[in-house]
Amino acid sequence: LKGVVLLLAAGEGARLGGSEPKAFLDLAGTPVIRHAYEAILSAELVEAIVVAAPAGYERRIESLLPPDSKPVTIVTGGVTRQASAAAALDAAPTGDAYLVHDAARALAPSALFDAVLRELDECEAVVPALPLVDTIKETAEDHVVRTIDRSALVAVQTPQGFRADVYRRAHAAAAKDGFAGTDDAALVERLGVRVRIVPGDDRNMKITTAHDAAVAEGLLGAGR
Ligand code: C5P
């Protein structure tokens, strides 16, 4: 399928400790938002892009995007990530599928966008995922309650892809029920839609802290 990317860049980036939203963080001479945007421009199956920008920074986001070959819409993001996704979806052109991506995953390879869209030929929802490397424990206050069997667990990334009708229904249901999810697939799972897993990418890390930014710059220096 071809799809529209909803690029979420409206976060404050409070955990980075800077004075500016995370989208503007410089990584090897290029802001986070532009790294993410360029990967999306190179994805063959992506036909349009909607960017959710931090309130008051819409024009600045626009000025950082390269003159592009794909239609782009910029909207004002919301207070939560889910609200930013809903705002982007409201402004999105109709398409067969939506891919929701965190701008904070600035190193996502273009091939991952295409891989998720190809998988959507055969199913309704797709998330990239990696196995867990750490042992995971349930805790209470300062002690361990039990160890979780990690063999059935994965860590999911973005872009997460959905058939357009499924994603629109999922947002409508979440809004109606007051449901808040920590990713987009969670909204779709509660409709009973099966979410398929494709391999994630080690480089596709989420940049949350200053440490992550340093790691990402190291990866960029090591060559894409
Ligand atoms: O804060 P967190 O790292 O979970 O944010 C993940 C992604 O969601 C980031 O790319 C951020 O810009 C975006 N976001 C958003 N609107 C918000 C909060 C986060 O677009 N209100």
* Ligand 1 binding pocket mutation candidate from 64, 76, 101, 102 (most atoms within 8 A of CB): 102
**For residue 15, what pLDDT is reported?**
81
pLDDT score of 223: 60
Residues of the chain with pLDDT under 50: none
Q: How deeply is 11 buried, as exposed, middle or buried, from its count of CB atoms within 10 A (0-12, 13-18, 19+)?
A: buried
pLDDT at 13: 79
Listed residue (48, 56, 146, 57) closest to 99, CA to CA: 48
**Atom nearest to 22 CA in ligand 1:** 12
Burial 28-49 (b: 16+ CB within 10 A, else e): eeebbbbbbbebbbebebbbbb
- pLDDT, tens digit (0-9, with 9 covering 90-100), for 121-153: 999 999 999 999 999 999 999 999 999 999 999
Alpha helices by DSSP H, listed for 42-109, are 58-64, 81-91
Tell me what pLDDT residue 17 has: 80
Ligand 1, residues at Cβ distance < 6 Å = 8-11, 22, 52, 77-81, 84, 102-104, 206, 208
